[in-house]
């Protein structure tokens, strides 16, 4: 039976948040697993080493393309069904990717990477699902707590890679088999979600705004812009970081340490970001995120000592957290329940479209825009400036527009 979509007491919301945190921690572990080994596996399979990171780009592209259909499935059949579809996509991605490794076939491996994007897309809706049954006061905290589950996945995923990457004669095959197991074991979590489906549309049910009308709504437009910029710039710099650290004379272990500090900085603030939004307002937290991202670029441009890398990447993670969680909260409050399918799908289509372009541009800027690693790293960080100005200008316009006019 279709249940009416309404905000219930926060007892139900907290139960849903707990389940989504567990899903983020366990099922979400497959993303760091694949991001760690995807490029290395691609390097071993690709005839052209320049294509080594193409599997990662295809994961993001798969997420972008599947965002709208996954959102439509959730709108019609409920969140749980959409999340199950995502887990099936993740399992298929692991299966096909592992088969590609077994065959030594780069094209088959790429297909598996694209299928993994289905899971990545569904995972992106965990944050919206957390808001569905939450009160206005609890909503930013719910979103923040679910994002905090990514901290556990960032710990679990690398440990699974260490335990599985050399388990078979074929490198990384064990990791892809573990990805299948993670999806199969974790899919049962969604049976415990208590998120009612939206009511089936009736003749007199409001149809809601079209996608174009939604994007013309000031709050929605600014939320999408800030989410795109926060996520895309984080991806742009993070993807180039290992190349820059090693290219500037440091070891691969040091590069791994820098990335680890970045991932921790991405998720640790989630334990209090929601409280900050509730206290200071979402616009101020998004603005703070954009300022912190700017500081990350400034620190990176000051030098290529290992301390610069650590501080820049920590600031990058915190800035992403404030900017992305804030933009998500802003968006979740700006549309009606019967509009969520088209709006949330459109949002993630645009956000991950930006991330896809950033992941493709990152290697080009790093490797092809200068004669050495220092010049490439400089180009990557300089590229942040115009997009930060775009998002900052849009946010400032929204804040000024909301102020009452004197006169």
Residue 103 is predicted with a pLDDT of 95
What global pTM score does this model have? 0.75
Residue 378 is predicted with a pLDDT of 93
Residue 5 is predicted with a pLDDT of 43
Q: Are 165 and 174 in contact (CB under 8 A)?
A: yes
Answer whether residue 377 is part of any domain: yes
Q: Does 249 lie in the same domain as 177?
A: no
Last residue of a domain, one of 197, 222, 246: 197
Question: What is each CA distance from 333 to 73, 132, 137, 326, in whole angstroms?
Answer: 21, 10, 11, 11
Q: Does 264 lie in the same domain as 135?
A: no
Q: Does 188 lie in the same domain as 229?
A: no
Which range marks the domain in which residue 188 is found?
Answer: 1-197
Q: Can you read off the two tokens belonging to residue 405?
A: 């006019």
CA nearest 119: which of 146, 95, 102? Answer: 95
Q: What are the start-end ranges of the H helices in 248-383?
A: 252-267, 270-280, 282-301, 306-332, 340-368, 373-382
Residue 207 is predicted with a pLDDT of 67
Answer whether residue 257 is part of any domain: yes
CA gap 121, 63 in Å, rounded: 4
Residue 390 is predicted with a pLDDT of 95
Return per-residue pLDDT of the chain as tens, 407 residues: 334 444 446 888 899 999 999 999 999 989 888 877 776 787 688 887 567 667 888 998 898 889 889 988 998 899 999 999 999 999 999 999 999 999 999 999 999 999 999 999 999 889 889 888 888 888 888 888 888 888 888 788 878 888 888 889 998 899 999 999 999 999 999 999 988 876 665 666 666 777 788 888 888 899 999 999 999 999 889 877 877 888 888 876 777 778 778 888 988 888 888 889 989 999 999 999 999 999 999 999 999 899 999 999 999 999 999 999 899 888 877 777 777 767 877 887 888 888 888 877 877 787 777 778 888 899 999 999 999 999 999 999 999 987 765 54
Answer whether residue 202 is part of any domain: no
Answer whether residue 237 is part of any domain: yes
CA gap 223, 289 in Å, rounded: 13
Answer whether residue 203 is part of any domain: no
Residue 200 is predicted with a pLDDT of 62
CATH of the domain at 217: 1.20.1250.20
């Amino acid at each position: 039976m279709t249940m009416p979509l309404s905000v219930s007491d926060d007892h139900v919301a907290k139960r849903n948040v707990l389940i989504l945190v567990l899903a983020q921690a366990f099922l979400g572990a497959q993303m760091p697993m694949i991001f760690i080994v995807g490029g290395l596996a691609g390097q071993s399979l690709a005839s052209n080493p320049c294509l080594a990171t193409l599997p990662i780009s295809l994961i993001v592209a798969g997420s972008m393309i599947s965002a709208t259909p996954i959102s439509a499935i959730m709108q019609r059949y409920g969140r749980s069904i959409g999340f199950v579809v995502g887990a099936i996509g993740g399992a298929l991605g692991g299966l096909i990717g592992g088969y590609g490794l077994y065959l030594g076939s780069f094209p088959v491996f790429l297909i598996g990477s694209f299928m993994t994007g289905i899971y990545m897309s569904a995972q992106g809706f965990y944050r919206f699902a957390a808001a569905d049954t939450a009160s206005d006061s609890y909503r930013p905290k719910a979103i923040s707590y679910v994002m905090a589950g990514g901290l556990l996945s960032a710990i679990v995923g690398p440990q699974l890679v260490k335990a599985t990457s050399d388990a078979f004669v074929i490198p990384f095959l064990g990791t892809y088999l573990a990805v299948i197991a993670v999806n199969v074991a974790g899919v049962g979590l969604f049976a415990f979600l208590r998120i009612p489906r939206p009511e089936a549309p009736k003749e007199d049910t409001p149809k809601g705004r079209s996608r174009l009308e939604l994007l013309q709504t000031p709050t929605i437009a600014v939320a999408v812009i800030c989410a795109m910029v926060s996520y895309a710039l984080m991806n742009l710099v993070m993807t180039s970081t290992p190349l820059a650290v090693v290219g500037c004379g440091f070891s691969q272990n040091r590069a791994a340490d820098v990335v680890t500090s970045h991932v921790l900085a991405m998720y640790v603030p989630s334990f209090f970001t929601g409280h900050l939004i509730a206290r200071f307002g979402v616009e101020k937290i998004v603005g703070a995120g954009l300022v912190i991202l700017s500081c990350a670029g400034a620190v990176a441009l000051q030098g290529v000592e290992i301390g610069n890398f650590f501080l820049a990447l920590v600031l990058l993670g915190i800035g992403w957290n404030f900017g992305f969680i804030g933009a998500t909260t802003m968006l979740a409050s700006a549309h009606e329940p019967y509009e969520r399918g088209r709006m949330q799908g459109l949002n993630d289509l645009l956000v991950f479209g930006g991330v896809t372009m950033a992941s493709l541009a990152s290697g080009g800027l790093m490797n092809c825009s200068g004669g050495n690693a220092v010049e490439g790293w400089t180009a990557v960080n300089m590229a942040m400036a115009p997009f930060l100005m775009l998002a900052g200008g849009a946010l400032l316009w929204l804040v000024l527009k909301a102020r009452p006019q004197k006169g």
